[in-house]
Amino acid sequence: MVKLQSRIPEGPLAEKWSNYKSNQNLVNPANKRKLDVIVIGTGLAGAAEAASMAEMGFKVKSFCYQDSSRRAHSIGAQGGINAAKNYQNDGDSIYRLFFDTVKGGDYRSREANVYRLAEVSNEIIDQCVAQGVPFAREYGGTLDNRSFGGALVSRTFYARGQTGQQLLLGAYQALSRQVKKGNVEMYPRMEMYNLVMVDGKARGIIARDVITGKLERFSAHAVVLASGGYGNVYFLSTMAMGANVSAIWQCYKKGALFGNPGFVQIHPTCIPVHGEYQSKLNLMSESLRNDGRIWVPKKREDAVRLQTGEIGGVDIPEEDRDYYLERRYPAFGNLVPRDVASRAAKERCDAGYGVNSTGLAVFLDFKDSINRLGKDVIEAKYGNLFQMYEKITDTNPYKVPMMIYPAIHYTMGGIWVDYELHTTIPGLFATGESNFSDHGANRLGASALMQGLADGYFVLPYTIQNYLADEINTPRFKTDIPEFETAEKEVKEQLDKLMEVKGIMSVDTLHKKLGKIMWEHVGMGRNKEGLQKAIEEIEKLKEEFWFNVNIPGEVNDLNPELQKASRMADFLELGALMAKDALHREESCGGHFREEFQTGEGEALRNDKDFTYVAAWEYKGDDKEPVLHKEPLKFEYIEVKQRDYK
């Protein structure tokens, strides 16, 4: 029987992390080089912790499915990274960042974790600047900030519209330095397919060489997951095409609990879907909401004329425009948190005010800012985003308003971890987006980068030592033991089974079907009936998949279709779990909006009495229902209230 222990250190909130560090076990330098750690993924969390642990002296094996560790999808983050530096002298503090994050997450995250996150946020900026990350600067030579959703201060550091890229390159370069020094063995194009457990502890992985198709075994004293989020279960998302759930899903199936799988973030500012063959949704950074105003027409007939293409946004006079975010949330206006902005857009479009041919788009208009600040200023701030928009849509956003619509962007859910980022499997850790994380039911903009790097640079490299200190007597071991044998066989059988289906439908065709079910029923608006339907439909689709999927090529060879199919098999199981989680949580909170539970004004209505907990699901077998465990959330430093952005 699994027992959830959050292992939050004693002491006042502000001292917990330093107390923890003062009292934790450490590994001495001579022993560090005898200990191996496997890190799955090379995004912000993965690259940062692999580099940091290698600097400390551990031997690290770093894996990524991409051809180079520099391509992990953290690179796609555009807007920025939060920190409580208060360089702008606008009243920011660690407590305020902590408070905003807990509130933004709709009071469904652990206080101690979030406080630690806010605490180390400042060190992250220091570290990244020292690495040569070219953050935007003022003329005086100091760092510049901008504001993001859900905050009343400017605390977001940025490097044009490519902050994620620059932070990732910083971590990648730190990692490269350790590769050169021989402390990190780098395994690109190598995908984790199974977790190997020896005596109840995580001891290694089975990975598949993407190029040769060969299965390989790797052993270590601990395994760290940093494999990112699972938004691709929706097929269309802002994730990279290869982003998948498989690494964490295998760990879930080996006994690691999955926390809050149904908490998904839908980003309000993405380029709307254009057609059947679309493979990917493009994000327009949240930072655009600093200067862009979101609106739809006031009159239905104008909306209809927009939908038929008779008129464009510029043809609608000022008085006929409904700046609905400014109307509904005067205090935060266009900078309300993402879940609120997304739902408001959906509400307007569902009411028939959508502005493109599909009726699923709203305007993001820069006319006023361009008039106020001039085109040059806007270009300097957002030039690359505007250029990207123009390349994709063939319209010029300096002249006509952008069209945007919400899209799947981030998954707050993930593997359940305690304060030490330790999963329920000893020796298995989860970091970054892959853990259920510090964001509760909704993540604030510019906080994903902060959390990935906090885990990677400053948290995991410490907390893992508390575990490894007890492993110093475990010698390096060979992989020819039965546990590895069995784990490899499981993978082989699964892959062979996939190859043997020999149906007539491509993986993508089936994946699109899954995506439709998920988006419709487990997306922005959820209800009991829909979620139950989703569970049934996913079950049917799963049968269809295992009966009808068509994978050309060989199993022991470079085979992208097999890779996709294997990921898809896991997404199908995950989709069902997400629906179950969303179904059981009979309240609305953050990104999880149950239509049955809303205020008269259409805002999310929490049920704090019954649902102030983390839902952690335990796998019991393919044909058995997962078991729900609850980690109650206690709020000692923050008063739990209805979120109010008015």
Partner 1 sequence: MKLKLKIWRQKDPHSRGKFVNYRLNDISADSSFLEMLDVLNEELISKGEEPVVYDHDCREGICGACGLYINGRPHGPDSLITVCQLHMRKFKNGDTIVIEPWRARAFPVIRDLMVDRDAFDKLIQEGGYVSVNTGSAPDANSIPVKKVYADLSMDAAACIGCGACVAACKNASAMLFVGAKVSHLTLLPQGKVESNERVRDMVAKMDELGFGNCTNTGACEAECPKGIKLTNIARLNREYYRATF
Q: Give the shortest CB-163-to-partner 1 separation in angstroms.
A: 11
Considering only 187, 332, 458, 571, the residue that binds partner 1 (CB under 8 A) is: 458
Considering only 90, 123, 326, 490, the residue that binds partner 1 (CB under 8 A) is: 123
Cβ proximity to partner 1: between 6 and 282 the closer is 282
- Work out whether strand 321-322 and strand 293-297 pair parallel, antiparallel, or are unpaired: antiparallel
Looking at residue 601, its amino acid is: E
Is the Cβ–Cβ distance between 71 and 43 less than 8 Å?
no
The pair phi, psi for residue 130, each rounded to 5°, is: -65, -30
632 CB neighbour count, 10 Å cutoff? 9
Q: Which stretch binds partner 1 (CB under 8 A): 430-438, 453-461, 491-499, 615-623?
A: 453-461
Q: Which stretch binds partner 1 (CB under 8 A): 235-243, 593-601, 604-612, 628-636?
A: 235-243
Residue ranges in 53-72 that form contacts with partner 1 under rule CB under 8 A: 55, 66-72
Sign, Cα dihedral of 406, 407, 408, 409: negative
Nearest in space to 269 (alpha carbons), one of 321, 323, 335, 367: 335
Residue ranges in 551-610 that form contacts with partner 1 under rule CB under 8 A: 552-553, 558, 560-561
Cβ proximity to partner 1: between 127 and 466 the closer is 127
Q: Give the shortest CB-191-to-partner 1 separation in angstroms.
A: 13
Cβ proximity to partner 1: between 8 and 125 the closer is 125
Query: Rounded CA gap, 163 and 449, in Å?
Result: 9
Q: Give the shortest CB-107-to-partner 1 separation in angstroms.
A: 31
Looking at residue 556, its amino acid is: N
On the CB side of 576, CA atoms within 13 Å amount to 21
Query: Rounded CA gap, 362 and 347, in Å?
Result: 11
Q: Which stretch binds partner 1 (CB under 8 A): 11-19, 176-184, 364-372, 593-601?
A: 176-184
Cβ proximity to partner 1: between 244 and 479 the closer is 244
Between 257 and 276, how does the x/- string for binding to partner 1 read (CB under 8 A)? Answer: -----------------xx-
Residue ranges in 466-505 that form contacts with partner 1 under rule CB under 8 A: 504
Cβ proximity to partner 1: between 4 and 498 the closer is 498
Considering only 22, 28, 89, 279, the residue that binds partner 1 (CB under 8 A) is: 279
Q: Give the shortest CB-90-to-partner 1 separation in angstroms.
A: 15
Query: Rounded CA gap, 254 and 431, in Å?
Result: 18
**82-to-86, 412, 448 alpha-carbon distances in Å:** 11, 17, 9
On the CB side of 364, CA atoms within 13 Å amount to 30
Residue ranges in 374-393 that form contacts with partner 1 under rule CB under 8 A: 387-388, 391-392
Q: Which stretch binds partner 1 (CB under 8 A): 236-244, 405-413, 608-616, 623-631?
A: 236-244
Place of tokens 């043997």: 500
Per CB under 8 A, does 127 bind partner 1?
A: yes
Give me the residues paired with residue 60 across strands: 37, 184
**303-to-271, 306, 624 alpha-carbon distances in Å:** 18, 5, 49
Per CB under 8 A, does 87 bind partner 1?
A: yes
Cβ proximity to partner 1: between 301 and 394 the closer is 394
The pair phi, psi for residue 181, each rounded to 5°, is: -75, -10
Q: Which stretch binds partner 1 (CB under 8 A): 170-178, 191-199, 306-314, 355-363?
A: 170-178
Query: Rounded CA gap, 291 and 367, in Å?
Result: 9
On the CB side of 210, CA atoms within 13 Å amount to 18
Between 282 and 301, how does the x/- string for binding to partner 1 read (CB under 8 A)? Answer: xx------------------
Q: Which stretch binds partner 1 (CB under 8 A): 26-34, 165-173, 317-325, 599-607?
A: 165-173
Query: Rounded CA gap, 450 and 170, in Å?
Result: 14
Per CB under 8 A, does 160 bind partner 1?
A: yes
Give me the residues paired with residue 225 across strands: 40, 430
Per CB under 8 A, does 211 bind partner 1?
A: yes
Place of tokens 């300096």: 398
Residue ranges in 501-560 that form contacts with partner 1 under rule CB under 8 A: 504, 506, 508-509, 550, 552-553, 558, 560
370 CB neighbour count, 10 Å cutoff? 18
Please give the size of the binding site for partner 1, defined by CB under 8 A. Answer: 82
Per CB under 8 A, does 153 bind partner 1?
A: no
Cβ proximity to partner 1: between 383 and 602 the closer is 383
Cβ proximity to partner 1: between 134 and 374 the closer is 134
Q: Which stretch binds partner 1 (CB under 8 A): 240-248, 251-259, 323-331, 419-427?
A: 240-248
Q: Which stretch binds partner 1 (CB under 8 A): 278-286, 309-317, 402-410, 610-618?
A: 278-286
> What is the C-alpha radius of gyration for the chain, rounded to an integer number of angstroms?
24
Per CB under 8 A, does 232 bind partner 1?
A: no
Q: Give the shortest CB-76-to-partner 1 separation in angstroms.
A: 5
Between 21 and 60, how does the x/- string for binding to partner 1 read (CB under 8 A)? Answer: ---------------------------x--xx--x-----
Q: Give the shortest CB-378-to-partner 1 separation in angstroms.
A: 17
130 CB neighbour count, 10 Å cutoff? 9
Helices (H) and strands (E) in the chain, counts: 19, 19
Residue ranges in 309-338 that form contacts with partner 1 under rule CB under 8 A: none
Considering only 235, 457, 545, 617, the residue that binds partner 1 (CB under 8 A) is: 457
Query: Which run of H or of E encompasses 541?
Result: helix 528-548
- Strand positions, DSSP E, 416-492: 428-430
Per CB under 8 A, does 358 bind partner 1?
A: no
**267-to-73, 234, 409, 592 alpha-carbon distances in Å:** 16, 13, 6, 13
Residues 6+ positions from 410 with CB-CB distance below 8 Å: 229, 231, 264, 265, 267, 433, 443, 448
Cα end-to-end distance, the chain, whole Å: 45
Q: Give the shortest CB-390-to-partner 1 separation in angstroms.
A: 10
